[in-house]
Amino acid sequence: MQLFQLRVSAALALLLCSLAAGRQVSQCAPADSPRLRFVAQLSVNGCALFVHDTGASDGPHLAVEPLMCVTDSLRGIVPRFDFITQQLYFSVPVLMRDAGMLAEAQRQLRHLSPRSVSFATVTNISVSADTRSSIRVLSFLWTPNEPIATLRLRIDENKFHSFIRALRMSKLNLLKNIVPSDFKWIKGQSHLNYLPMETLQNVRLSASIISNGSCHDIQSRIMLQNDSFIEVGLYRKKFLPVCRQLRFSRYVNLENCSARAHQRLDIKGHFLIEPLLCHNISSLSSESVRYDYSRDMHYLKLDLVLQDEATRDAVRTQLADLSPRSVDFMRLWTAERSVSSSLSARFEVGPLMASADWRSAQLRLLCGNWTECRDLKSALLAEPSDLWRHVQWRVTSLVAEQCLSKSSRITSSWRMKPPGRADSCSSLKPCARLQRASARRTAAFQMLPDGRWFLKIQQRLTGRVSFQRNWTEYETGFGDGTDFWIGLSAIHSLSQGGVTLRVEMKLGNGSELHAEYAGFQVGDASTGYRMTYREMLRVRSVSIDSLEHHKGMRFSTMDRDNDEASDSCSNQRVKGGWWFNECLYVNPNGIFKLHFIGLKYMIWTYGSAILSLREMRLMLQI
Ligand SMILES: *[C@@H]1O[C@H](CO)[C@@H](O)[C@H](O)[C@H]1NC(C)=O
Ligand SMILES: *[C@@H]1O[C@H](CO)[C@@H](O)[C@H](O)[C@H]1NC(C)=O
Ligand SMILES: *[C@@H]1O[C@H](CO)[C@@H](O)[C@H](O)[C@H]1NC(C)=O
Ligand SMILES: *[C@@H]1O[C@H](CO)[C@@H](O)[C@H](O)[C@H]1NC(C)=O
Ligand SMILES: *[C@@H]1O[C@H](CO)[C@@H](O)[C@H](O)[C@H]1NC(C)=O
Ligand SMILES: *[C@@H]1O[C@H](CO)[C@@H](O)[C@H](O)[C@H]1NC(C)=O
Ligand SMILES: *[C@@H]1O[C@H](CO)[C@@H](O)[C@H](O)[C@H]1NC(C)=O
Ligand SMILES: *[C@@H]1O[C@H](CO)[C@@H](O)[C@H](O)[C@H]1NC(C)=O
């Protein structure tokens, strides 16, 4: 039996196989011009498909990389012993080319109207493993065009034993995540009943592919199908279609979560819900700190809900007054995340990994060491919203089947509805630090009746605090709990990627006005904290966009003239700081004096009227 296996191996090894650990392949001649252009990453049955465009002039011909996906449950894989080489090994089947998956990829890519979708030709392939792992790569056997390859992994028993010993010595509660639960010690000997899933994450496959005459080197980590989570988030902008027939309808608030409902204008009564992107904090309570071999970092795993049958009814109930005919969820296509810089030093938020059925997802919170992860977990459980206020998502969703040629692009913050008190920053250290950095003011949070949360970046309620300040003060922030400016550098880091700005004003007669702006963004110091936004939103009580005069302007103060006027707006006419142009239509940081109209006072121009303000607030949606 063992002999037979060895002979078969020898025959197949004709073609490919490499035992080198960590060797990079570069089989393509350097003269080859790279003509493949990356198009998208798809997930089919949990396997990732990387799709490239071959650059044909008559419309896209798409080439798919070999799948390199582990297809079977690893629990079924038992160690074998090769009596000739005296080695203990696992034999893992790896999916390389699969006609069914290609057909599914073709279906998902229909909106690109490709002329053809096919697997690229693989020329050379090699495999390597992280040397810190207790598992070594023995061979990778594959005949081109066969659907499945075999990966052989040698188990280095000594290394494995010392690894286990080290873990036991450390008394960390890691064992149960890393070591299979049915791992037994028999007379000091270990018996692995199956391959630990995470070790496969150390194995990398490299290959050269040829498509339409040009050669390319690719490198891929093996995908684990039955772990079933695939990174979301790669696409080429050029191929991203636009769905113009969608209209934002309203926010729907679910328990612990909120989503946006859109309306299909071409089908009466058809509603589409954006993917939920809600985290399930109760799943964290039973989680322990895990270890990522390939990154050599500890992490917490957090479960997310993208769409859920149970929420469908809740959504339907909320849309009841609109008599919906049908309610569908959009399909998550890409997700980019950014974490406010004040948080990112302590831990990283890993990429969003979606499940094969796109109903749930996972996120890894990577920390420097086990203790930090444990502290992070208790902080998160105590006050989950603290973290998510600082994580921004830019999500692209594809609209349901019938509208596949179209998509909507959404920039959104984490859509969790934070429970509990509004201003509860203290339990999570990074958040507390953000507060300290913005000079001990209550940079308080506010929830609107529609369930959206905002962070106040400027507020004028009493007039106790002077806003006639210099550049340094406007940069770092100033004020007390009621009247404050949180600072340009904070506003810059909070608005990265574009957020929704909400302006709230109270007039002398008590009337309240508000306006909202999408894609509000403030650049960094090198741009002079240039302010811009995409558009004024329909959610508002004022219909004239007076802020437009200030769009694209750099910030100016008395001691720093960045405005468009021949003299200095701030120094000669206003004294406050703002994104002055020639000089202003609105002046939220002007002198606090009700019923005084003039450039230097706190005013908002509205058509031909100039409104003197009694109260003023600027907020960013979180
Ligand atoms: C192959 O590449 C050439 C040159 O870029 C291009 O003109 C041609 O259309 C491509 N053919 C296919 C089938 O992609
Ligand atoms: C594969 O790699 C080997 C060694 O690096 C090289 O000699 C050979 O030409 C390559 N074959 C192809 C088809 O690229
Ligand atoms: C994962 O493996 C289990 C057990 O073999 C199987 O029941 C399940 O369907 C698999 N899941 C996927 C997504 O393939
Ligand atoms: C909402 O969150 C609370 C507290 O974390 C939890 O007890 C409850 O089950 C959650 N509800 C849903 C629908 O997830
Ligand atoms: C949240 O996690 C808990 C515990 O893991 C689980 O029982 C529950 O079904 C999850 N909720 C959702 C909506 O996925
Ligand atoms: C974990 O990291 C923190 C901060 O880098 C450090 O203070 C602490 O000593 C570390 N703990 C361990 C157990 O290494
Ligand atoms: C700005 O004002 C603060 C507080 O009055 C002062 O300490 C600082 O020196 C000033 N900076 C400059 C550059 O004038
Ligand atoms: C307050 O003043 C504004 C602008 O002058 C006006 O439009 C609004 O109707 C007034 N509200 C009340 C309650 O008088």
Which pLDDT belongs to residue 471?
93
Atom index in ligand 1 nearest the CA of residue 56 equals 9
> How much is the pLDDT for 429?
31
Cβ atoms within 10 Å of 412's Cβ, excluding its own: 18
When mean pLDDT is compared across 175-184, 331-340, 584-593, the lowest value belongs to 175-184
Q: Could you identify the atom of ligand 6 that is nearest to the CA of residue 370?
A: 13
8-34: average pLDDT: 40
pLDDT for the residue 525:
92
Identify which has the larger pLDDT, 404 or 517.
517
**pLDDT value for 404:** 41
CA distance 222 to 97: 14
- pLDDT, the chain, mean: 73
At 559-579, the pLDDT tens digits run 998 988 888 888 888 888 999
Please give the distance, rounded to the nearest whole angstrom, from the Cα atom of residue 511 to the centre of ligand 8. Answer: 6
List the residue whose alpha carbon is closest to atom 3 of ligand 5.
283
- Given a cut of 80, whether residue 76 has pLDDT beyond it is no
In the chain, the amino acid numbered 436 is: R
Q: Which residues pair with 601 in a beta bridge?
A: 591
Q: Is 86 exposed, middle or buried (0-12, 13-18, 19+ CB in 10 A)?
A: exposed
pLDDT recorded at residue 522? 94
Lowest mean pLDDT among 151-165, 170-184, 191-205: 170-184
**Phi/psi at 600 (nearest 5 deg)?**
-85, -5
Confidence tier at 251 by pLDDT (50, 70, 90): confident
What pLDDT band is residue 235 in, cutting at 50, 70 and 90?
Answer: low
| Confidence (pLDDT) at 4 | 31
**With a 6 A CB cut-off, is 375 part of the ligand 6 pocket?**
no
What's the 373 CA to ligand 6 centre distance in angstroms? Answer: 10
552 versus 490: the higher-pLDDT residue is 552
103 alpha carbon, distance to own chain's centre:
28
Name the β-bridge partners of 502: 516, 619
Q: What lines the ligand 7 site, CB under 6 Å?
A: 470, 472-473, 559
Binned at pLDDT 50, 70 and 90, residue 406 comes out as: very low
pLDDT of residue 160: 53
Task: Point out the ligand 2 atom lying closest to the alpha carbon of residue 208.
Answer: 14
- Mind listing the domains of the chain with CATH numbers? 37-169+195-225 (no CATH), 246-409 (no CATH), 444-621 (3.90.215.10)
* pLDDT higher than threshold 60 for residue 227: no
> Ligand 3 center to residue 77 CA distance, Å?
14
Residue 151's pLDDT band (cuts 50, 70, 90): confident
At residue 117, the pLDDT reads: 92
The string of DSSP letters for 78-126 reads --EEETTTTEEEEEEEEE---HHHHHHHHHHTGGG--SEEEEPEEEEEE
Q: Is 255 in the pocket of ligand 5 (CB under 6 A)?
A: no
Locate 50 and state its tokens: 């990387």
Among 207, 231, 204, 201, residue whose Cα is nearest residue 74: 201
In short, whether 402's Cβ falls inside 6 Å of ligand 6 is no
Q: Distance from the CA of 86 to the center of ligand 1, in angstroms?
A: 51
Residue 401 has pLDDT above 60, yes or no: no
Upper half-sphere CA count for residue 240 (Cβ side, 13 Å): 17
Check whether 381 has a pLDDT greater than 60: yes
Structure confidence at residue 574 (pLDDT): 84
**Nearest partner of 273 among 400, 363, 186, judged by Cα:** 400
What mean pLDDT do residues 430-438 have?
Answer: 33
Contact 205, 131 (CB under 8 A): no
pLDDT value of residue 195: 59
Per-residue confidence band for 7, with pLDDT thresholds at 50, 70 and 90: very low
The finding on whether 608 has its CB within 6 A of some atom of ligand 8 is no
For residues 4-10, average pLDDT: 32
Residue 388's pLDDT is what? 66
Residue 76, helix vs strand vs coil: helix
Instruction: Give dist(CA 403, CA 203) in Å, integer.
Output: 39
Q: Above 50 in pLDDT, residue 482?
A: yes
What's the rounded Cα separation, in Å, for the pair 588 and 56?
A: 54
Cβ < 6 Å from ligand 1: which residues?
35, 54-57, 61, 212
* pLDDT band, very low/low/confident/very high, at 156 (cuts 50, 70, 90): low
Q: Is 369 in the pocket of ligand 6 (CB under 6 A)?
A: yes
Q: Is pLDDT of 319 > 80?
A: yes
Q: What is the pLDDT of residue 440?
A: 31
Of all ligands present, the nearest one to the C-alpha of 54 is: 1
Residue 50 and residue 235: Cα distance in Å, rounded?
10
pLDDT for 328: 84
Closest to 140 measured CA to CA, from 130, 153, 131 = 153
Give residue 293's pLDDT: 60
- At residue 591, does pLDDT exceed 50? yes
The yes-or-no verdict on residue 303 having pLDDT over 80 is yes
Using the mean position of ligand 1's atoms as its centre, give its distance from the Cα of residue 214 in Å: 10
Identify the residue with better confidence: 286 or 169: 286
